[in-house]
A and B are shown apart, each in its own frame.
Chain A
């Protein structure tokens, strides 16, 4: 019980801290922030349920008025803005990434990278693009064009999520809750 709670809380804090890290601009000029990497890691390290709960806890603190989203954004405004769909998709993305990690027997790097691509890109973009289409009153394909700008950065982040999960699996094999056979509750 306590272990689940502290893992969820500490990873929610980790997502926030990764948003404070100054953004890195890729050679192509596409800005990437480490925040969505944090979302992917919540799923791949904590597993589906706890990962999604950690992201929900993080979003709750954003809604309460803490400026925890990358770029110091926060408050209720972000949940009605054009990128609100991505925020709604965050916990689902973490859940799917964790589910892939738990349900496959692939080695950690491949499982985490696949989970990050399916959850952190596939599922997240469905939510994000629907949100943009709704707020900006565009068709889904028009909104998808806007979303494409983030794709190169997110693909790199999925690979990084795989590498980081592998590094964590090697350093603390027992700490990877997503790969425990019988997770101690």
Chain B
């Protein structure tokens, strides 16, 4: 399955995941304490510079990942135009863009396997309540069953269109949920037959 990791290899891909996440946490924490527009602008430019080091294509991809934020930028912009306090609006928008862009940068330059390795290390203290093997199995099951359920939904939609000219919409969700319930029973039996989930 596709992940959000960028196929464009950058220098950041070669850094270890743990330190990258720690730096990100520190950066985000600091952003919410800074309220000087100049420093926030500097932070955003710095993050943008890191994106640009990966090349123009990588930079464009990063900008595209920020697309869901534009409606909020527009709302904040209009709001502060109306209250005539543009500086405050600028602080909010700069902080939001810098925080989300930095977090996306870590996601785009860290492989899923490295992320899971960090998760395993972080989850180690939870081992008495949540055995690492069980967590790994749950993650693997979700990743495996997303394409299975997607295909099931597509089949249900085809069957619907064979019978009706109208669009299927929400009516497919009940059979899809039933399919998930049935699969869950069968996978549980299969796991038990093979020695349990550990």
State the A residues within 8 Å of B (CB): 1-3, 5-14, 16-18, 20-21, 24, 34, 37, 41, 45, 57-58, 60-61, 64-68, 71, 73-83, 135-138, 142, 146, 160, 163-164, 167-168, 171-172, 175
Contact = CB atoms under 8 A, between A and B. Distances in A.
A14 B5 contact: no
Contact of A136 (B96, B142, B169, B180): B96
Interface string B87-101: 010011000100111
Given A74-B4, A77-B101, A175-B178, A10 B173 contact: no
Contacts of A6: 141, 183-185, 187-188, 191
B177 interface: yes
B192 interface: yes
A41 B177 contact: yes
Given A164-B177, A168-B174, A171-B178, A5 B92 contact: no
A83 B141 CA distance: 27
Interface residues of B, number: 65
Interface stretch (B7-15, B48-56, B103-111, B158-166): B103-111
Nearest to A137: B92
Interface of A is mostly: helix
Contacts of B60: none
Contacts of B174: 163-164, 167-168, 171
Contacts of A41: 173, 177
Nearest to A64: B115
25 contacts: A3-B185, A5-B141, A5-B191, A6-B183, A9-B137, A9-B184, A10-B183, A16-B142, A17-B149, A17-B150, A18-B176, A37-B173, A57-B139, A64-B115, A75-B4, A75-B65, A75-B107, A75-B108, A76-B24, A77-B100, A80-B100, A81-B99, A146-B75, A163-B174, A164-B173
B38 interface: no
Nearest to B1: A66
Interface in B133-148: 134, 137-139, 141-143, 145-146, 148
A76 B169 contact: no
A2 B169 contact: no
A65 B4 contact: yes
Contacts of A64: 112, 115-116, 119, 139
Contacts of A9: 137-138, 141-142, 145, 184
Interface string B26-55: 001000000000000000000000000000
Contact of B92 (A8, A61, A136): A136
Contacts of B187: 2, 6, 10
B1 to A, nearest CB: 7
Contact of A66 (B4, B65, B182): B4
A161 to B, nearest CB: 9
B141 A34 contact: no
B104 A77 contact: yes
Which of A8, A24, A136, A160 is packed against the most chain B CB atoms within 10 Å?
A136
Given A14-B176, A64-B115, A164-B174, A76 B107 contact: yes
